[in-house]
């Protein structure tokens, strides 16, 4: 029966209102997209954290990492300026130490907290690298770019010594967070009013943590943003403000660093910033290339043999990063701010390294920026912003994902390293030894392994027995606070043999052989025999 046709009772069928499907609210669709993105980032972060933690648990920790753990422990227990501490040439005061301290509040002072902190730092750096690499990409292309980033960051973890530099203990890799976040802000919101002050604050905090920010990030921001301001012929713009913010961050950080010791806070050994003679630069170029290959997992240090398959994998990642760098150079006027910043930062980092006094075959940590920055450039060069053909997109995602999982799984399956000081730490604690002295590498690691139940403080043995002015606290050596009754000496082939300690302290009342060490027992407080540390320049 049709509308308007008479019914049996004489009435007509009248059309009612048509039921329509309610239109989807754009706000609801955007909220759902944000939730899906957040869930995806969370899932990826958890998976990566599990891998990084397992790899870290298989790596070694030494007294460098132990001292950072002790500094973090003091920091979160109220010693905000770390009174008495003498840092090395990097403090890690504004990122790694607070993060480590928070983790220690959960897990306590010990090896577990160190490994969790290491995994978290590398995860944060990875997330920042992913955020830069994925900018402007959509759909499957984002997944493929992400897989390339993870691959480049994971391949060096196949090699144990490179794992120590990238993943284990506070080092320059954590400093990359300051650079990456600054570059993200400059790339995403260069003209917002808050961007320049925020970037200046980040760069200032980064310099207080590690001078690498001053010598790499600040020049990169000044050069790139200055270039863009001049190219745009508009000096009153966001790029000019960023140049000013980067330049101002240097004297502000210097003033803060100068004030901290006067306020009773820590002191820092100045970094080695001397220039090398020009005649050494060609040799430094060769050393730098060698260290670049080490950082990408394409080569090993002279004392280590790198499996051929691992080296081939690392070489491919290195070549991909080089392709990314060349691509940005070729399209320089059209390149994004982030791409330009990454390229300039790499060039500045490598350039300052070559002309400095630091290049050596074990100094690859000084150019660690090439790995995360190279990962971004490789991903953006090899993968377009969109992959339209669905079969090709699915294949690319699957292959890239499997390639990324391969180095992660292989590194995670590595046999854990047993710390050589484990039997010594156990013996000292079992026999009631509480406070003693030793060489640097045999000292703070014992305190960490025993959760400070056995405390050993490092000393130097030169022309006299003195406090080690590197990653130590002057408070440790006060006889009124502590009573040091024993010495840990190396075997005859070590740097701190028994004879060297006996030269300054005389014959011990008892001596015990524990694994590769001798424990020398004295009847007096040895802290009274130790000279103060030489003054920090």
Can you tell me the distance from the alpha carbon of 312 to that of 72, in angstroms, rounded to the nearest whole number?
Answer: 39
- Asked if 160 contacts 154 with a C-beta cutoff of 8 angstroms, the reply is no
DSSP assigned state of 463: S
* E strand or H helix that includes residue 85: strand 85-87
Average pLDDT over residues 237-265: 96
pLDDT band at 301 (very low <50, low <70, confident <90, very high): low
Can you tell me the distance from the alpha carbon of 421 to that of 425, in angstroms, rounded to the nearest whole number?
Answer: 6
Give me the phi and psi of 60, to 5 degrees please: -90, 155
451-474 b/e with 16+ CB inside 10 Å = b? ebebbbbbbbbeeebbbbbbbbbe
pLDDT at res. 303: 60
- Asked if 112 contacts 56 with a C-beta cutoff of 8 angstroms, the reply is no
Q: Convert the pLDDT of each residue in 49-84 to its tens digit.
A: 999 999 999 888 999 999 999 999 999 999 999 999
Query: Edge-to-edge, what's the strand order for the sheet holding 85-87?
Result: 267-268, 85-87, 472-473
* E strand or H helix that includes residue 459: strand 455-461
Tell me how far apart the 2 most distant CA atoms of the chain are, in Å.
Answer: 126
Can you tell me the distance from the alpha carbon of 443 to that of 446, in angstroms, rounded to the nearest whole number?
Answer: 6
* E strand or H helix that includes residue 382: helix 370-382
Residues 6+ apart with CB under 8 A from 70: 109, 444, 447, 448, 452, 473
Extended strands (E) in 462-526: 465-467, 472-473, 486-490, 510-514, 517-521
Can you tell me the distance from the alpha carbon of 327 to that of 378, in angstroms, rounded to the nearest whole number?
Answer: 9
Q: Convert the pLDDT of each residue in 177-235 to its tens digit.
A: 999 999 999 999 999 999 999 999 999 999 999 999 999 999 999 999 999 999 988 88
Can you tell me the distance from the alpha carbon of 152 to that of 375, in angstroms, rounded to the nearest whole number?
Answer: 6
pLDDT at res. 216: 96
pLDDT band at 537 (very low <50, low <70, confident <90, very high): low
- Asked if 39 contacts 47 with a C-beta cutoff of 8 angstroms, the reply is no
Can you tell me the distance from the alpha carbon of 530 to that of 525, in angstroms, rounded to the nearest whole number?
Answer: 10
Can you tell me the distance from the alpha carbon of 214 to that of 212, in angstroms, rounded to the nearest whole number?
Answer: 5
Q: Convert the pLDDT of each residue in 20-54 to its tens digit.
A: 555 556 667 777 778 888 888 899 999 999 999 99
Q: Where are the domains of the chain?
A: 44-412, 422-529
pLDDT band at 295 (very low <50, low <70, confident <90, very high): very high
pLDDT at res. 195: 96
pLDDT at res. 23: 56
- Torsion angle of the four alpha carbons 318, 324, 327, 329, in this order, in degrees rounded to the nearest 10: -90
Q: Select the more confidently predicted residue: 99 or 27.
A: 99
Q: Convert the pLDDT of each residue in 147-169 to its tens digit.
A: 999 999 999 999 888 888 898 87
Closest CA to 338 of 132, 136, 125: 132
Can you tell me the distance from the alpha carbon of 276 to that of 392, in angstroms, rounded to the nearest whole number?
Answer: 51
- Asked if 453 contacts 505 with a C-beta cutoff of 8 angstroms, the reply is no
Mean pLDDT rounded to a whole number for the chain? 90
Closest CA to 312 of 293, 326, 325: 293
Can you tell me the distance from the alpha carbon of 243 to that of 226, in angstroms, rounded to the nearest whole number?
Answer: 6
Q: Convert the pLDDT of each residue in 325-345 to its tens digit.
A: 999 999 999 999 999 999 999
Query: Edge-to-edge, what's the strand order for the sheet holding 486-490?
Result: 465-467, 455-461, 435-438, 486-490, 517-521, 510-514
């Amino acid at each position: 029966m049709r509308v308007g046709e008479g019914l049996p009772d004489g009435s007509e069928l009248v059309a009612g209102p048509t039921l329509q499907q309610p239109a989807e609210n754009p706000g609801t669709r955007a909220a759902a997209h944000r939730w899906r993105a957040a869930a995806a980032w969370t899932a990826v972060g958890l998976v990566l954290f599990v891998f990084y933690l397992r790899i870290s648990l298989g790596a070694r920790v030494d007294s460098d990492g132990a001292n950072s753990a002790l500094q973090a422990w003091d920091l979160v227990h109220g010693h905000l300026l770390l009174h008495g501490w003498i840092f090395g040439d990097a403090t890690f005061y504004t990122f790694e130490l607070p993060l480590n301290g928070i983790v220690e509040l959960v897990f306590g002072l010990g090896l577990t907290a160190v490994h969790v902190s290491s995994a978290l730092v590398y995860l944060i750096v990875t997330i920042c690298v992913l955020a830069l690499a994925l900018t402007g990409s959509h759909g499957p292309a984002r997944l493929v770019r992400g897989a390339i980033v993870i691959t480049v960051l994971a391949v060096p973890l196949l090699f144990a010594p490179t794992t120590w530099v990238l993943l284990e203990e506070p080092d320059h890799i954590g400093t990359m967070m300051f650079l990456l976040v600054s570059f993200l802000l400059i790339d995403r919101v260069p003209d917002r009013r808050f961007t320049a002050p925020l970037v200046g604050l980040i760069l200032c905090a980064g310099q207080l943590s590690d001078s690498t920010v001053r010598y790499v990030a600040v020049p990169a921001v000044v050069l790139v943003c200055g270039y863009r301001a001049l190219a745009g012929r508009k000096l009153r713009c966001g790029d000019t403000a960023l140049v000013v913010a980067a330049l101002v961050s240097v004297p502000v950080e210097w003033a803060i660093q100068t004030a901290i010791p006067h306020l009773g806070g820590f002191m820092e050994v100045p970094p080695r910033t001397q220039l090398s003679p020009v005649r050494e630069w060609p040799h430094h170029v060769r050393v730098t290339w060698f260290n670049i290959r080490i950082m990408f997992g394409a080569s090993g240090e002279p004392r280590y043999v790198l499996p051929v398959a691992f080296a081939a994998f690392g070489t491919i990642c290195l070549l991909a990063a080089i392709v990314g760098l060349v691509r940005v150079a070729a399209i320089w006027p059209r390149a994004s701010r982030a791409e330009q910043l990454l390229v300039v930062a790499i060039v500045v980092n490598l350039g300052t390294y070559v002309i400095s006094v630091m290049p050596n075959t074990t100094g690859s940590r000084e150019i660690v920026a090439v790995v995360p920055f190279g990962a971004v450039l490789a991903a953006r060069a090899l993968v377009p912003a969109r992959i339209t053909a669905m079969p090709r997109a699915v294949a690319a995602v699957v292959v890239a994902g499997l390639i990324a999982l391969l180095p992660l799984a292989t590194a995670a399956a590595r046999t854990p390293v047993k710390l050589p000081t484990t039997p010594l730490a156990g013996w000292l604690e079992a026999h009631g030894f509480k406070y003693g002295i030793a060489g640097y590498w045999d000292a703070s690691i014992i305190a960490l392994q025993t959760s400070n139940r056995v405390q050993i403080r490092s000393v130097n043995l030169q022309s006299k027995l003195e406090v080690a002015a590197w990653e130590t606290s002057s408070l440790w050596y006060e006889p009124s606070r502590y009573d040091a009754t024993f010495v840990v000496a190396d075997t005859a082939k070590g740097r701190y043999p028994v004879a060297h300690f006996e030269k300054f302290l005389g014959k011990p009342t008892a001596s015990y052989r524990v694994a590769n060490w001798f424990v020398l027992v004295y009847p007096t407080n040895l802290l009274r025999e130790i000279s103060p540390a030489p003054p920090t320049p």
